[in-house]
Amino acid sequence: MEDKKPKIDACFSPFLYPVYKDDNSIVVIIDVLRATSAICVAFEYGVEKIIPVATVEEAREYKQKGFLVGAERNGLPLNGFDFGNSPFNYMGDHVKGKTIVLTTTNGTQAIEAAKNAYKVAIGSFLNIDSLCNWLIKENKNILLLCSGWKNKFNLEDAVFAGAVTDKISQGNENYKLGDGCLALKYLYQLAKENPNKFLSHSSHKERLAALNLKEDVRYCLTPNQTKVIPIYKDGALVKM
Ligand code: 3SL
């Protein structure tokens, strides 16, 4: 007999997305350090739309047309654009009511990979509770898509995917957990006491610390700074 329970699973890299995708899943894009955190902050501060693009060339074309553009590669903001990828770049009235174009090393690549999914939402520690409450209400299959680093697994996105799995499945027998998200749920149980410490030797945390971005890391790991849930609709991210 067919199992009618909705499923949750986690995909460790955009490279593996074609293996995991199905037509009925809500895909949660995860790049907690830092793209999906910066996106949540921008919507909290009233941005109207974010157009994610995969390449710097596309971003440049938008810039030439007069758009505000955020562009990051390898953790650094690119010259000639308005913002980088730090959540602090998007805090303030300067983003209110604006359309911003964004390209990042990994996060916008994951959005590009999943953009034709049934629904695409943006997840970060900053919006974790409202995201999980919404996902539970939707009662659909969930695929947690970790952006990783250049198609490789990374620890911080994995820990966040585990946190979402943990919250959604806690005391709730309604979901069938795939092995990917089950593994990450166990990982999160090791990390939850002190995620910052747990991640202290992770490659991306070290990379950002070398760029003097420890404050970004600390902020991005702080739960529930906003209730916004950005979703992808007609080629852009908008507030749900
Ligand atoms: O790749 C991304 O989307 C990033 O968030 C990378 S970084 O945090 O700016 O290094």
The reported pTM is 0.96
Q: Is the pLDDT of residue 2 over 80?
A: no
Residue 151 has pLDDT above 80, yes or no: yes
Q: Is 157 helix (H, G, I), strand (E, B) or coil?
A: helix
C-alpha distance across the termini of the chain, in Å: 36
The predicted model gives 137-160 an average pLDDT of 96
Centre of ligand 1 to C-alpha 139, Å, is 30
pLDDT, mean of residues 207-229: 93
pLDDT digits (tens, 9 = 90+) for 14-35: 999 999 999 899 999 999 999 9
Q: How far is CA 24 from CA 27, 104, 164, in A?
A: 9, 27, 19
1: pLDDT strictly greater than 60 = no
pLDDT tens-digit profile of 37-50?
999 999 999 999 99
Ligand 1 site-directed mutation target among 39, 72, 151, most atoms within 8 Å of CB: 72
Ligand 1, atom 7: nearest CA belongs to which residue? 75
Share of the chain above pLDDT 90, in %: 88
Domains and CATH numbers, the chain: 7-239 (3.90.1560.10)
* CB of 157 shorter than 6 A to ligand 1: no
Q: Which of 31, 94, 74, 8 is nearest to 237 (CA)?
A: 31
pLDDT band at 173 (very low <50, low <70, confident <90, very high): confident
In which band, very low, low, confident or very high, does the pLDDT at 3 lie, cut at 50, 70 and 90?
Answer: low
| DSSP-based three-state secondary structure for 46 | coil
What CA–CA distance (Å, rounded) separates 240 from 207?
33
Averaged pLDDT of the chain: 95
Helices (H), 115-213: 128-138, 155-169, 179-191, 195-198, 203-210
| 56-65 burial code (b ≥16 CB/10 A, e <16) | bebbbebbee
